A = this chain, B = another copy of it.
Amino acid sequence: MNFIFTEQFINICEIIGIIAFAISGAMVAIEKDLDVFGVVVLGVTTALGGGIIRDIILGMLPPNMFTNGTYAALAAVAALVVFIFSYYNYKYIEDHINLFNNALNVFDAIGLGVFVILGMNSAIFAGFTYNNFLLIFVGVITGIGGGMLRDIMVSDIPFVLRKRIYALACIVGGGVYLVLLKNNVNSDISVLIGIFSIIFIRLLSRKYKWSLPKVKK
């Protein structure tokens, strides 16, 4: 395996993921009638939650997010921008609610894709390259942790349990990423393909309303 990631590239991905998840958290908070502070708190929790859970599991304490305020500040600003926009343009949002639901879904998909792959990278950097299961498990938890905390905090059953292709997308994308890495494909390209696999499966599954079997009652 060859792990020469360009640090900047990873940072850019992380920033995109944080902003995407902060926006999704802020949108859920507005839907739930929280005020500006609730919007910021839920945005930050959604954005940082997955990484915090990942670092706790890997024993990398205090979590990365706590030693560097930039990430939290970024998430807070992104959530605040969503709040301000919604505050002054709610009528517009109401008239284009499908557009915004689609946007929420896309942001959620981007955050998911980025955090799964970066979560796996954290575990790889921490030396757990020998254990594919651990890598994928940590990746999935990093990806879904923020969204789960978001949903639990507003008393919803987590999205990940209701939107069935969610976890499957993470596992498939994580698997693709590992296969590429083990075949010495360029690390940055592997990261990108891994992220896009997850986003792609997640969005396709929504568009075509893929669903998994349920027990019929």
Q: Tell me whether A206 is interfacial, beta carbon within 8 Å.
A: no
Interface positions of A from 131 to 181, Cβ below 8 Å from B: 131, 133-134, 137-138, 148, 152-158, 160-162, 164-168
The main secondary structure of chain A at its interface with chain B is helix
Number of interface residues of A (CB under 8 A): 58
Nearest B residue to A59 via CB reads B61
User: Do B34 and A162 touch across chains, with their CB atoms under 8 A apart?
Assistant: yes
Interface membership of chain A positions 199-214, coded 1 if the CB is closer than 8 angstroms to chain B and 0 otherwise:
0000000000001111
CB distance B61 to A214 under 8 Å? no
For A164, list chain B residues within 8 Å (CB): 35-38
A57 to chain B, nearest CB (A): 5
Query: In the assembled complex, which residues on chain B have CB atoms less than 8 Å from the CB atom of A133?
Result: 66, 68-69, 72
